[in-house]
């Protein structure tokens, strides 16, 4: 049944706004064409809705009613503002690269480019480098409307290159600060390229300044290419305050023998969708995807993973833990695909959620799609309230109920946080979780 | 374990892709004209001598069906079905008019005997196992005979064909038909509602424990016909009934459609146990022919503390698309689903269940074992959901898949939706092949490779087999052996 799809107001606005914005966006004519094609794809697909299987539980057509304009230039953001917004993450010693409302701010950044690492602005590369078209290219993922929108609109982002065999002394911290006092739509595209045998940690932190408008729309995508034998720890910390929409997309490709540990810490407000797609391109590679999501009030946090075992002998592990309060909604969709020749695959997936209020909701879809026989794959999903016996045990040891519950939740989340290898970062995330549970600001980075 | 030895022998003596129920009965039949239209719906209704309200109900379903599109979300792949190239009604000539067992065409009786289903009550009584099972035998579009009716009547249990129920018990049919699976529920359910030809009707009155197992044996015989039966089981307060269903079909090059609807209704404290051994013709070793089994099965635990349990052993059909579900409406109601789906050759299975928790403290359990061999694709698709008001809902799901060979696929697509925090949901699934260590251990003890596989597989599916009524257990263990034949080495 082919009926002409009626465009929603938001879809129309996105298409219309593009013709105006296109001239302002960086890039040569070739890149402009790529953007135009992407916009065409978006036009055909529209905003994903519940009839699209991957978006069954996060109906963007319904949740995004209108489109926000591009941000006005924010002036007077200081390093101190950013430190305050980063909260527990501020103390982290790192190569800091700062973006304010999606625009690179060299003055606020602290990265000494050296032979091991460089972080260039995507906007600059797109304008000056003819080969930069590949940074925006996401061919093979043509059915993702949100990603198409990102390709069309991405104005800036960080292109991080880690040299072969380099071992970074400290993590690269990409800070995305929301400062615009008027509601704004921002699209960011990052690219992480880790050379053969290199070892690095890259953190993406999304924070908000106190003066920023409540409403926002972020569409961020990160392309990750991990070279042969390289090891990358990749962490995203979403702490935005307000009531906006945070759409994130990681596209990771692993070379042979590579090791990738991805982690999502999400305690932002509003709607968040964390999408990760991992493709194994070489044998003997390993991924460890994990995360913690904390939601209360009317928040909606969606984690959607696709792990594609396209080659033999790779290992994948996923562990996601969530805490839901009030009428928050958590979504977990994990799909593990084992292609016909991907023998000796070892995949395990687990999603666990604590539901602390009668009104919260958790929807889970841990999916296995297996075409090879010599594999071991498993998945699990659990959801329940805190075990009363455990609370009773703590109380019998003299711990007040509220504290007992907080302790139990913390240890529950702690299991996921353990996956973060960088010690300083792990501690910082622990502190953020601790503060969130006890409703201590600035858990959400409001100074 | 003697059963295992039996399986091993069964495996040994049967050749690759041997389907022993593949014979065809030569018998004169009356068919409806080919194709589907309102006239065909009228034709079927008239053949059955149905009252006007029943015809109207069918026509409404047909009108809805015309505007529906075929579902494509299942993980199965098949050429588009031409719904106008089918016969929607075929009945052996001899079954027209009133009949007693003695009047039934001996050919038909012989068919059922060949299938191992004795229809003469005295033969059943003389059976080796001594277990008595009342049988409703459905041949293409009509019910041939229903046994033990009189004895069941004494207990107050109504067990008859659907056509008879429409004539004899219209008040029950009007009240319950379509109350679990409405006419427009889905594409195939709507098709079934429009053209359903026969099936079984069971009514167990309040407080009665059905004195024997009830069963229906479905047989497709005619070429180019589809079978569209409809089963309705109502268990009144405090009653109990166990129902078995078996199905076979001749071997043919063409695909045949089987689109059934089963509705179960359990009122307060009632229990329905529904077991299926599905052995439709699966097609030959090149994937030619076989039954398309597109079935809607749903149970409604309408009363408090009611229980519905589905057990299925799926070995046949070219394509299976079925999700026996439970709507757990009553407080403290319970739903169970035990399934073994074995696919071989080019079979495609997309099956699972839905447990919809609406009542307080309702609980459900899902045990699903999928075994994929040859070039087959075997998918478990299931939904577990707890409504906001279904406090204290509990579910445990375990779905395991076993792959034999490197050309097959096993998939798991569970949907888990918890809408309140007192719901306690656990889901686990694993996929693996039979481990080399296990096989080595068995071989070291003197078993051949095939014996070892049969042993491991039987162990793997034991949880489910144990849920089957005794009469079926021995039979299904043999089935497992047959379906896996040829998958090793």
Whether B264 shows a pLDDT value over 70: the answer reads yes
A366's CB contacts (< 8 A; 6+ apart) are A332, A333, A334, A349, A351, A379, A380, A381, B412, B414, B416, B427, B429
User: In this predicted structure, what is the pLDDT of residue B295?
Assistant: 92
Contact A169, A200 (CB under 8 A): no
Residue keyed to tokens 């004195």: B211
The model's confidence at residue B7, banded by pLDDT at 50, 70 and 90, is very low
Give the total number of structural domains in chain B.
Answer: 1
Domain that holds residue B265: 2-484
Which carries the bigger pLDDT value, residue B120 or residue B445? B445
Residue keyed to tokens 């300083």: A424
- Nearest chain B residue to A366 by CA: give it: B414
Cα separation, A251 vs A221, whole angstroms: 8
CA dihedral B230, B231, B237, B239 (to 10 degrees): 170
- Nearest chain A residue to B68 by CA: give it: A1
Q: Given an 8 Å threshold on Cβ–Cβ distance, is B412 in contact with A368?
A: yes
The model's confidence at residue A432, banded by pLDDT at 50, 70 and 90, is very high
Q: Given an 8 Å threshold on Cβ–Cβ distance, is A381 in contact with B414?
A: yes
User: In this predicted structure, what is the pLDDT of residue B202?
Assistant: 93
Which two three-digit tokens encode residue B142? 């009509």
Contact B226, B292 (CB under 8 A): no
Disruptive mutation site among A323, A325, A369, A409 for chain B (greatest number of B CBs within 10 Å): A369
Cα separation, A188 vs A122, whole angstroms: 9
Whether B20 shows a pLDDT value over 70: the answer reads no
B-chain CB neighbours of A381 within 8 Å are: 414, 416, 425-427
Residues in a beta bridge with B158: B203
Residue A140 backbone zone (phi > 0: left; psi -120 to 50: alpha; other: beta): left
Whether B29 shows a pLDDT value over 90: the answer reads no
Q: What is chain A's mean pLDDT, rounded?
A: 90
Interface of B with A (CB under 8 A): 69, 73, 388, 391, 401, 403-433
- Nearest chain A residue to B389 by CA: give it: A358
**In this complex, how many residue pairs, one in chain A and one in chain B, have their CB atoms less than 8 Å apart?**
120
Query: What was the ipTM of the complex prediction?
Result: 0.84
The mean per-residue pLDDT over the stretch A2-30 comes to 78
Interface of A with B (CB under 8 A): 1, 53, 324, 340, 343, 353, 355-385
B425 closest CB neighbour out of A372, A379, A382: A382
Residue B184 CB neighbours (<10 A)? 17
Whether B123 shows a pLDDT value over 60: the answer reads no
User: In this predicted structure, what is the pLDDT of residue A1?
Assistant: 38
User: In this predicted structure, what is the pLDDT of residue B485?
Assistant: 54
- Structural domain includes residue B308: yes
Lowest mean pLDDT segment, chosen from A73-77, B201-205, B459-463:
B459-463
Q: Given an 8 Å threshold on Cβ–Cβ distance, is A369 in contact with B427?
A: no
Distance of CA B300 to the CA centre of its chain: 17
The mean per-residue pLDDT over the stretch B177-193 comes to 92
pLDDT in tens, A137-170: 888 888 899 999 999 999 999 999 999 999 999 9
Disruptive mutation site among B416, B428, B433, B453 for chain A (greatest number of A CBs within 10 Å): B416
Burial degree of A128 (CB within 10 A; 0-12, 13-18, 19+): exposed
- Structural domain includes residue B149: yes
> Which backbone phi and psi does B183 adopt, to 5 degrees?
-55, -40
Secondary structure (H, E, C), B421-473: CCCEEEEEEEEEECCHHHHHHHHHCCCCHHHHHHHHHHHHCHHHHCCCCHHHH
Contact A197, A167 (CB under 8 A): no
User: In this predicted structure, what is the pLDDT of residue A396?
Assistant: 95
pLDDT in tens, B375-406: 889 999 999 999 999 999 999 888 888 888 78
Cα separation, B479 vs B344, whole angstroms: 12
- Structural domain includes residue B320: yes
Lowest mean pLDDT segment, chosen from B101-115, B260-274, B376-390:
B101-115
User: In this predicted structure, what is the pLDDT of residue B2?
Assistant: 26
- Structural domain includes residue B463: yes
Identify the H or E element spanning A188. Answer: strand A184-194
Q: Given an 8 Å threshold on Cβ–Cβ distance, is A380 in contact with B429?
A: yes
Of B245, B366, B370, B221, give the one whose Cα is nearest residue B297. B245
The mean per-residue pLDDT over the stretch B337-351 comes to 88
Cα separation, B130 vs B436, whole angstroms: 42
- Structural domain includes residue B193: yes
- Structural domain includes residue B420: yes
Which carries the bigger pLDDT value, residue B13 or residue B256? B256
The mean per-residue pLDDT over the stretch B145-165 comes to 84
Contact B344, B371 (CB under 8 A): no
User: In this predicted structure, what is the pLDDT of residue B125?
Assistant: 43
> Which backbone phi and psi does A176 adopt, to 5 degrees?
-110, 110
Instruction: For B304-376, list the strands marked E by DSSP.
Output: 307-314, 319-322, 325-328, 334-343, 348-351, 354-357, 363-373
The model's confidence at residue A6, banded by pLDDT at 50, 70 and 90, is low
Which two three-digit tokens encode residue A56? 């069954």
Q: Given an 8 Å threshold on Cβ–Cβ distance, is A373 in contact with B403?
A: yes
pTM of the model: 0.85
Residue keyed to tokens 């390709």: A151
Burial degree of A130 (CB within 10 A; 0-12, 13-18, 19+): exposed
Identify the H or E element spanning A186. Answer: strand A184-194
> Which backbone phi and psi does B419 adopt, to 5 degrees?
-110, 10
Which carries the bigger pLDDT value, residue B405 or residue B235? B235
B411 closest CB neighbour out of A370, A378, A384: A370
Distance of CA B192 to the CA centre of its chain: 15
Q: How far apart are the first and last CA of chain B?
A: 25
Whether A202 shows a pLDDT value over 80: the answer reads yes
Whether B131 shows a pLDDT value over 60: the answer reads no
- Structural domain includes residue B57: yes
Q: How far is B70 from chain A (nearest CA, A)?
A: 10
User: In this predicted structure, what is the pLDDT of residue A373?
Assistant: 81
User: In this predicted structure, what is the pLDDT of residue A438?
Assistant: 84
Contact A85, A208 (CB under 8 A): yes
A-chain CB neighbours of B416 within 8 Å are: 362-366, 381, 383
Contact A261, A232 (CB under 8 A): yes
User: In this predicted structure, what is the pLDDT of residue B469?
Assistant: 67
Based on its alpha-carbon atoms, the radius of gyration of chain A, rounded to whole angstroms, reads 21
DSSP, res A298: T
pLDDT in tens, B268-288: 999 999 988 888 888 887 778
User: In this predicted structure, what is the pLDDT of residue B480?
Assistant: 62
A373 closest CB neighbour out of B404, B422, B425: B404
Angle at B394 between CA A331 and CA A266, to 5 degrees: 20
The mean per-residue pLDDT over the stretch A298-314 comes to 94
Whether A2 shows a pLDDT value over 50: the answer reads no
Q: Given an 8 Å threshold on Cβ–Cβ distance, is A365 in contact with B422?
A: no
Cα separation, A273 vs A262, whole angstroms: 15
A-chain CB neighbours of B69 within 8 Å are: 1
Whether A369 shows a pLDDT value over 80: the answer reads yes
User: In this predicted structure, what is the pLDDT of residue A17?
Assistant: 84
Q: Given an 8 Å threshold on Cβ–Cβ distance, is A383 in contact with B433?
A: no
The model's confidence at residue B141, banded by pLDDT at 50, 70 and 90, is low
Q: How far is B154 from chain A (nearest CA, A)?
A: 48
Q: Given an 8 Å threshold on Cβ–Cβ distance, is B427 in contact with A382?
A: yes
Disruptive mutation site among A3, A56, A309, A373 for chain B (greatest number of B CBs within 10 Å): A373
A377 closest CB neighbour out of B388, B418, B430: B430
Lowest mean pLDDT segment, chosen from A344-358, B237-251, B315-329, B464-478:
B464-478
Contact B481, B342 (CB under 8 A): no
Q: Given an 8 Å threshold on Cβ–Cβ distance, is B428 in contact with A378?
A: yes
The model's confidence at residue A310, banded by pLDDT at 50, 70 and 90, is very high
- The pairing of beta strand A117-121 with beta strand A158-162: antiparallel
Cα separation, A278 vs A252, whole angstroms: 5
- Structural domain includes residue B489: no
Cα separation, A262 vs B21, whole angstroms: 54
Whether A20 shows a pLDDT value over 90: the answer reads no
Contacts 24+ apart (CB under 8 A), A129-138: A130/A28, A130/A30, A132/A27, A132/A31, A133/A27, A133/A28, A133/A30, A133/A31, A133/A34, A135/A159, A135/A189, A135/A191, A135/A223, A136/A27, A136/A31, A136/A34, A136/A35, A136/A189, A137/A34, A138/A221, A138/A223, A138/A251
B90's CB contacts (< 8 A; 6+ apart) are B29, B30, B31, B32, B140, B141, B221, B222, B225
Question: b/e for B343-375, b at 16 or more Cβ within 10 A?
Answer: bbbbbbbbbbbbbbbbbbbbbbbbbbbbbbbbb
């Amino acid at each position: 049944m082919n009926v002409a799809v009626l465009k929603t107001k938001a879809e129309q606005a996105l298409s219309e706004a593009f013709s105006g914005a296109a001239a302002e966006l960086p890039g040569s004519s070739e890149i402009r064409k790529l953007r135009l094609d992407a916009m065409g794809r978006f036009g055909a697909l529209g905003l994903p809705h519940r009839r699209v299987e991957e978006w069954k539980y996060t109906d963007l057509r319904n949740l995004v009613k209108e489109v926000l304009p591009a941000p006005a230039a924010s002036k007077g953001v200081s390093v101190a503002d950013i430190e305050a917004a980063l909260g527990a993450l501020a103390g982290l010693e790192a190569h800091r690269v700062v973006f304010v409302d999606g625009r690179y701010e060299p003055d606020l950044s602290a990265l000494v480019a050296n032979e091991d690492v460089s972080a260039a602005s995507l906007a600059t590369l797109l304008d000056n480098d003819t080969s930069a078209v590949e940074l925006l290219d996401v061919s093979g993922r043509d059915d993702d409307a949100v990603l198409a929108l990102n390709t069309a609109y991405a104005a800036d982002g960080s292109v991080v290159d880690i040299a072969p065999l380099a071992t970074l002394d400290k993590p690269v911290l990409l800070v995305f600060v929301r400062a615009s006092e008027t509601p704004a739509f921002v699209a960011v595209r990052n690219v992480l390229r880790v050379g053969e045998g290199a070892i690095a940690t890259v953190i993406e932190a999304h924070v908000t300044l106190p003066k920023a408008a409540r409403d926002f729309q972020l569409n961020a995508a990160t392309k990750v290419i991990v070279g042969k034998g390289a090891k990358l720890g990749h962490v995203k910390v979403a702490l935005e305050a307000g009531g906006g929409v945070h759409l994130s997309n990681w596209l990771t490709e692993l070379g042979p023998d590579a090791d990738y540990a991805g982690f999502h810490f999400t305690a932002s407000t509003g709607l968040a969708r964390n999408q990760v797609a991992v493709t194994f391109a070489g044998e003997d590679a390993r991924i460890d995807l994990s995360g913690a999501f904390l939601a209360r009030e009317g928040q909606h946090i969606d984690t959607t993973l696709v792990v594609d075992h396209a080659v033999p002998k790779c290992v994948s592990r996923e562990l996601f833990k969530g805490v839901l309060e009030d009428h928050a909604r958590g979504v977990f969709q994990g799909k593990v695909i084992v292609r016909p020749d991907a023998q000796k695959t070892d995949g395990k997936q687990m999603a666990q959620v604590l539901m602390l209020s009668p009104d919260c909701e958790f929807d889970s879809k841990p999916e296995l799609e297996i075409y090879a026989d010599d594999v071991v794959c498993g998945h699990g999903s659990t959801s329940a309230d805190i075990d009363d016996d455990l609370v009773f045990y703590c109380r019998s040891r003299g711990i007040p109920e509220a504290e007992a519950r907080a302790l139990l939740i913390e240890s529950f989340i702690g299991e996921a946080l353990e996956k973060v290898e960088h010690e300083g970062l792990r501690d910082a995330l622990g502190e953020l979780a601790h503060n969130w549970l006890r409703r201590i600001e600035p858990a959400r980075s409001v100074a | 374990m003697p059963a295992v030895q039996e399986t091993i022998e069964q495996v040994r003596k049967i050749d690759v892709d041997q389907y022993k129920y593949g014979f065809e009965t030569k018998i004169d039949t009356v068919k409806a004209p080919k194709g589907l239209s309102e006239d065909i719906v009228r034709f079927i209704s008239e053949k059955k001598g149905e009252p006007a309200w029943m015809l109207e109900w069918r026509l409404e379903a047909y009108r809805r069906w015309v505007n529906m599109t075929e579902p494509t979300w299942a993980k199965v792949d098949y050429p588009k079905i031409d719904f106008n190239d089918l016969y929607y009604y075929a009945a052996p000539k001899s079954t027209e008019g009133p009949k007693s067992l003695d009047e039934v065409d001996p050919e038909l009786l012989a068919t059922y005997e060949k299938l191992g289903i004795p229809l003469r009550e005295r033969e059943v009584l003389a059976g080796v196992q001594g277990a008595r099972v009342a049988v409703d035998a459905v041949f293409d579009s009509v019910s041939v005979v229903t046994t033990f009716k009189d004895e069941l009547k004494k207990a107050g249990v109504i067990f008859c064909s659907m056509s008879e129920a429409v004539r004899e018990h219209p008040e029950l049919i009007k009240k319950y038909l379509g109350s679990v699976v409405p006419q427009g529920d889905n594409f195939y359910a709507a098709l079934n509602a429009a053209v359903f030809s026969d099936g079984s009707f069971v009514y167990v009155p309040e407080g009665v424990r059905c004195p024997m197992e009830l069963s229906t044996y479905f047989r497709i015989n005619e070429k180019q016909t589809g079978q569209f039966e409809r089963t309705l089981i109502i268990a009144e307060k405090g009653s109990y009934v166990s129902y078995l269903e078996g199905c076979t079909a001749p071997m043919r090059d063409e695909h045949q459609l089987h689109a059934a609807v089963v509705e179960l209704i359990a009122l307060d404290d009632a229990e329905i146990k529904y077991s299926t051994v599905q052995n439709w013709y699966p097609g030959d070793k090149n994937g030619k022919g076989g039954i398309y089994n597109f079935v809607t099965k749903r149970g409604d635990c309408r009363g408090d503390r009611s229980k519905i349990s589905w057990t299925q052993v799926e070995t046949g059909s070219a394509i299976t698309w079925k999700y026996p579900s439970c709507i757990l409406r009553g407080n403290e109601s319970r739903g169970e689903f035990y399934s073994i789906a074995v696919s071989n050759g080019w079979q495609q299975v997309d099956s699972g269940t839905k447990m919809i928790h609406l009542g307080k403290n309702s609980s459900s359990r899902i045990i699903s074992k999928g075994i994929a061999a040859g070039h087959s694709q075997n998918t478990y698709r299931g939904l577990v959901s707890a409504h906001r008001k279904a406090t204290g809902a509990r579910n445990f799901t375990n779905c395991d898949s076993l792959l034999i060979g490197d050309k097959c696929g096993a998939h798991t697509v569970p949907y888990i939706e918890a809408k309140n925090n007192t719901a306690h949901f656990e889901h686990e699934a694993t996929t693996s092949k039979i481990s080399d260590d296990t096989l080595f251990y068995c071989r070291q003890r003197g078993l051949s490779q095939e014996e070892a596989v049969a042993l491991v597989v039987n162990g793997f599916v034991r949880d489910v087999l144990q849920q089957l009524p005794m009469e079926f257990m021995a039979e299904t263990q043999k089935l497992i052996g047959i379906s896996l034949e040829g998958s090793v080495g």
